């Protein structure tokens, strides 16, 4: 449709120019013999080019020719303006994040913006999308609109929202426009939000239920020793709730700080602070924590609190899944343009099927062991977000029964 506007405007300009040349030639060839009819034809052409009949009929052929020339100039200006408007509209539609397809009244596509061209590619999923869009365009009646959601199972899996609207000028149908929006990320975030709410509810419901049951039992208990044990269990469950809430607050804060304040942070100091925070837990499980700091000391640009939280969560995770009497090693090194912090344990390890999911919120490899050690399932999710916030990465290498190594990589130089 946009191309048709450009073409019609161009045809008008060419027709006007050709008409002027032909009339001029006719005048030169015919001289005075055909001046009357020729003048009338020029008057008619002027009206067609200018959109209105001249106020005064020219008495001479030169005057008629002048009117045609002026009308031609106005038509050329209209052509240029129409072409500029069409180009402007095309460029504007190309900037839209949605794919836009315009069809004429016969159902033939006359315009596709860049997104639509990219969407309707040669891949199988795109071919299915193109077919569904074509069907929806054909099914849109004059004066009506249609909507449809397309699920493309990929890979990668995508969800497209398609809306069509008929076009008219109040008298007749001019065609149909289709707007296609990729809502895959929106759907994914909705699913994550639903899962998050469900997981939080479940995680809090379990200790809250335990506290209620223990408190009810404690009210009826008369044995001091049993009462003490019940009170200790209530304290443990309350501490677990507190840990979940603290980790949720940390995760929320870290997620909201996509670009944390940048300042030089000594990696050696981060490792030492994290080790100090995890020391009580390690001593309780009789696990030795070994530090191997970078030599000479090295600094990165980042947020000290976030980086300490990430290394602490890696070390705490290693302590929890180590065997009693085991060791956890935290090693820092400079490799190329990166600082690499690796935390290694010789504990239970991670099955291969779980390696890709351990960084998900509330995901636990061993539900029973995590609950017995007080894990919330949020520590590794915090590490992942800290790595992303600092333009770094986190990787895990593990085999079941042979321990695990978590490797945090941070760039030495800040990225824009």
Please report the pLDDT score of residue 46 as a whole number. 64
- 40 & 13 share domain: yes
Which residue did the predictor score with more confidence, 273 or 69? 273
Residue 13, token pair as written in the block: 């300009």
Residue 282 dihedral angles phi and psi, to the nearest 5°: -65, -40
Q: Note whether residue 395 is domain-resident.
A: yes
Most confident of 110-114, 199-203, 292-296: 292-296
Q: pLDDT by residue (tens digit) across 369-397?
A: 445 555 567 888 889 989 988 999 999 99
Asked whether residue 401 carries a pLDDT value surpassing 80, the answer given is yes
Q: Examine residue 10 and state whether it is found in any structural domain, yes or no.
A: yes
Model confidence at 24, in pLDDT bands (50, 70, 90)? low
- Of 60, 78, 93, which residue constitutes the final position of a domain? 93
Shared domain for 287 and 412, answered yes or no, is yes
Residues 64 and 104 in one domain: no
Token pair recorded at residue 279:
């020391």
What CATH code is carried by the domain that includes residue 304?
3.30.565.10
In a domain, 198, yes or no: no
The token pair at 413 is 């130089």
**pLDDT, tens digit, 9 for 90 and up, residues 284-335:** 889 999 999 998 999 999 889 899 999 999 999 999 889 988 999 999 999 9
Helices (H) and strands (E) in the chain, counts: 11, 12
End-of-domain residue from the set 182, 216, 237: 182
Q: Is residue 221 part of a domain?
A: no
pLDDT digits (tens, 9 = 90+) for 327-342: 999 999 999 899 999 9
DSSP element (H, E) containing 150:
strand 145-152
342-379 as b/e: b if 16+ CB within 10 A: bbbbbbbbbeeebbeebbbbbbbbeeeebbeeebbbbb
What was the pLDDT predicted at 155?
67
* Tens-digit pLDDT profile for residues 271-284: 999 999 999 889 98
Q: What per-residue confidence (pLDDT) applies to 356?
A: 78
What's the whole-number average pLDDT of the chain?
78
What tokens were used for 164?
A: 């069509």
340 in a structural domain = yes
Q: Tell me, what's the pLDDT at 67? A: 66
Number of domains in the chain: 3
Alpha-carbon distance 395 to 407, whole Å?
5
For residue 397, being part of any structural domain is answered with yes
Residue 74 confidence (pLDDT) above 80? no
Query: Each residue of 221-257: pLDDT tens digit?
Result: 888 888 888 898 888 888 878 877 887 787 777 777 6
- What domain range includes position 282? 260-416
Q: In terms of domains, do 158 and 78 share one?
A: no
CB 115 within 8 A of CB 98: yes
């Amino acid at each position: 449709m946009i191309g048709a506007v450009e073409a019609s405007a161009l045809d008008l300009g060419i027709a006007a120019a050709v008409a002027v040349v032909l009339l001029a030639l006719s005048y030169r060839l015919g001289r005075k013999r055909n001046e009357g009819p020729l003048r009338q034809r020029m008057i008619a052409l002027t009206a067609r080019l200018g959109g209105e009949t001249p106020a005064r009929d020219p008495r001479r052929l030169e005057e008629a020719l002048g009117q045609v020339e002026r009308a031609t100039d106005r038509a050329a200006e209209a052509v240029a303006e129409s072409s500029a408007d069409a180009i402007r509209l095309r460029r504007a539609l190309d900037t839209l994040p949605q794919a836009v397809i315009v069809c004429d009244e016969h159902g033939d596509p006359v315009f596709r913006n860049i997104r639509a061209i990219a969407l309707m590619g040669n891949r199988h999923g795109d071919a299915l999308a193109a077919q569904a869009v074509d069907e929806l365009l054909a099914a849109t009646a004059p004066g009506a609109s249609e909507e449809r959601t397309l699920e493309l199972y990929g890979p990668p899996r995508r969800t497209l929202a398609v809306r069509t609207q008929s076009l008219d000028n109040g008298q007749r149908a001019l065609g149909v426009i289709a707007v296609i929006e990729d809502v895959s990320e929106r759907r994914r975030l909705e699913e994550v939000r639903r899962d998050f709410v469900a997981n939080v509810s479940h995680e809090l419901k379990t200790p809250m239920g335990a506290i209620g049951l223990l408190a009810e039992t404690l009210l009826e208990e008369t044995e001091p020793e049993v009462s003490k044990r019940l009170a200790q269990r209530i304290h443990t469950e309350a501490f677990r709730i507190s840990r979940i809430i603290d980790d949720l607050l940390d995760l929320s804060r870290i997620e909201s700080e996509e670009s944390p304040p940048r300042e030089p942070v000594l990696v050696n100091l981060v490792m030492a602070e994290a080790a100090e925070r995890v020391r009580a837990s390690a001593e309780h499980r009789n696990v030795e924590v070994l530090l191997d700091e970078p030599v000479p000391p090295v600094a990165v640009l980042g947020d000290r609190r976030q980086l300490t939280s990430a290394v602490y969560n890696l070390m705490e995770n290693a302590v929890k899944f180590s065997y009693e009497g085991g060791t956890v090693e935290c090693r820092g090194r400079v490799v190329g343009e990166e600082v690499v912090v690796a935390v290694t344990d010789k504990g239970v390890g991670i099955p291969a099927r779980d390696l890709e999911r351990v960084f998900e919120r509330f995901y636990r490899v061993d539900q029973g062991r995590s609950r017995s050690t007080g894990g919330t399932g949020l520590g590794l999710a915090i590490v992942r977000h800290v790595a992303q916030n600092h333009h770094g990465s986190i990787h895990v290498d593990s085999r079941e029964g042979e321990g695990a190594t978590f490797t945090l990589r941070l760039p030495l130089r800040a990225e824009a």
